[in-house]
Structure 1
């Protein structure tokens, strides 16, 4: 720092100030000690003290031998290696335990699925025996035949029996992962490439019912009074059964009339909008023969009439 610049800042003369100045000489304001130290001392005093101590030690012949530095470095390297080895061993033990737990859970799931399949087959066989016996006992009289007709209508309404007839087939295909993996414009769920959601399928099913459908299935699962279509994380469940893209929605009813109404329905309009915006595949076709499976029937223990 030059002398003229120091004078401009007020100078370093301790006698300079308002109380001591000569005639025709500018009044100089002394620089405070803190500001003076900031302008002149660029390093912390601790650095200077450490440098002086190191220089004094070297001058007195107390410089640390080089082998001691190497020994400390070797100890540090060994300590780091020991930490990494311990972490790897713990990770391997944890991975082994996780794999064993996964195998055990997978085995439990397979056993539960097999038991469920067996119980479902037994239930269906017993239900068929009950239906056969019921028909045998009621077919003999006019009153029994009338009662059977009412039971058949109730079974169809409750989705308790498989049905075959003409209808519509609606196939909705999720576009999946985009070619540009950094493109998030196709996301309707944060962090996911899933486009089709449960509310889209719900709207389609309701539109088909409004269009005159007599029976509907989604992804091979019959839609009955107690069946729901809902989102579970990144998947869609129909009657608690997971379904995947392409989503096939079958509806039995008058194909031409139902298709005309469905073309103007909010459900198909939503699908067309998703087709334009997200690249969803939408295909609607009429068929003379559509087969729908029977749905799961649950016993109703309590009921309450609402309205008239």
Structure 2
């Protein structure tokens, strides 16, 4: 009689196995993580080193001499390159120093000339304004035109103004031991915390609080003035400024301070004060003096909105 398993095609699942060995066997596979942490040498290199050790063939004297010769040649070549670099640096150093001195002298002379021209321009602008006022103040039409010009000059920040207002002073913290690494990451490689966007937000908040004229570190803020970051420096109308940053705003002082206390600009400064130790002060003063801003020629203008 044919067995039941034979009826299914003659396959016996236990064929070739003894009764006690029919169970599957586990093959030990090493852990990949354990191998990465414990086996620091590639298996191929380890096998090559083992074969070389088993062969026991020592290097001959000639091979050792050739190896030492190549090492000495490499050391001589490296020393020659370094000696040539040092000699070239010593030869070029006087010329580089002289060029640096010339460039520094040119920069100082250019700055002095720019300062003198700026003062000259302000004096001429004051003379022109005085002559215009004397000419237009004789009749009613000229007086109305003069009032209109004053309003436009205030909006364009082209005339100096004096009046009551608010002074906001922002100070970067010193490079002390308590300065966190997170604060250092705001400007890579420096201890600067206040950035251009922080001053921009303060200026915009003062405008929204009712300011009529604003200056940042003595630079009048007008339609063509920008506050931007250039590396680790803040440029206000292309003039570098450093901490402490002083922002003066002329307007109704008490109303302006109350509105500025609820503004996003002061809220951001308070967060920086708590997080990084930035110094923030808001003061009311009388007789704040703001200089006139720079006047630039308009090359192109486009009307926006209905005429």
Length-normalised TM-score, structure 2: 0.75
> Deviation per CA, 1:143-179, whole angstroms, max 9, x where unpaired?
1111111111111111111111111111000114232
Q: Show the counterpart of 2:50.
A: 42
Q: Show the counterpart of 1:12.
A: none
Q: Show the counterpart of 1:109.
A: 107
Q: Show the counterpart of 2:120.
A: 122
Instruction: Compute the displacement of 1:88 (Å).
Output: 1.6
**Alignment match of 1:96 (pick from 94, 97, 122):** 94
- Is 1:299 the equivalent of 2:307? no
Instruction: Compute the displacement of 1:103 (Å).
Output: 1.4
**Alignment map for 1:10-159 (pairs within 5 Å):** 42-44=50-52, 48-51=56-59, 53-54=60-61, 82-159=80-157
Matched-pair contact (CA < 8 Å) for 1:176–1:194:
no
Q: Show the counterpart of 1:3.
A: none
Bigger mean CA offset, 183-192 vs 258-267: 183-192
Instruction: Compute the displacement of 1:294 (Å).
Output: 1.0
- Is 1:184 the equivalent of 2:181? yes
Q: Show the counterpart of 2:212.
A: 214
Q: Show the counterpart of 1:20.
A: none
* Distance in 2, Cα, partners of 1:41 & 1:84: 36
Matched-pair contact (CA < 8 Å) for 1:165–1:252:
yes
- Is 1:223 the equivalent of 2:227? no
Could you say if the C-alpha distance between residues 186 and 40 of structure 1 is closer, same or farther in structure 2, counting changes exceeding 3 Å?
A: closer
> Deviation per CA, 1:19-61, whole angstroms, max 9, x where unpaired?
xxxxxxxxxxxxxxxxxxx99993428984444x44xx8xxxx
**Alignment match of 2:261 (pick from 253, 260, 263):** 263
> Deviation per CA, 1:254-298, whole angstroms, max 9, x where unpaired?
111101000000000000000001110001111122111111111
Bigger mean CA offset, 71-80 vs 269-278: 71-80
Structure 1 unaligned segments of length 5 or more: list them.
1-37, 58-62, 65-69
Structure 2 unaligned segments of length 5 or more: list them.
1-45
Instruction: State the structure with more CA Rg.
Output: 1
Q: Show the counterpart of 2:43.
A: none
- The total of aligned residue pairs comes to 259
Matched-pair contact (CA < 8 Å) for 1:172–1:281:
yes
* Distance in 1, Cα, partners of 2:175 & 2:49: 61
Instruction: Compute the displacement of 1:123 (Å).
Output: 2.0
* Distance in 2, Cα, partners of 1:265 & 1:72: 73
* Distance in 2, Cα, partners of 1:219 & 1:40: 72
Could you say if the C-alpha distance between residues 40 and 125 of structure 1 is closer, same or farther in structure 2, counting changes exceeding 3 Å?
A: closer
Instruction: Compute the displacement of 1:73 (Å).
Output: 9.7
* Distance in 2, Cα, partners of 1:93 & 1:103: 17
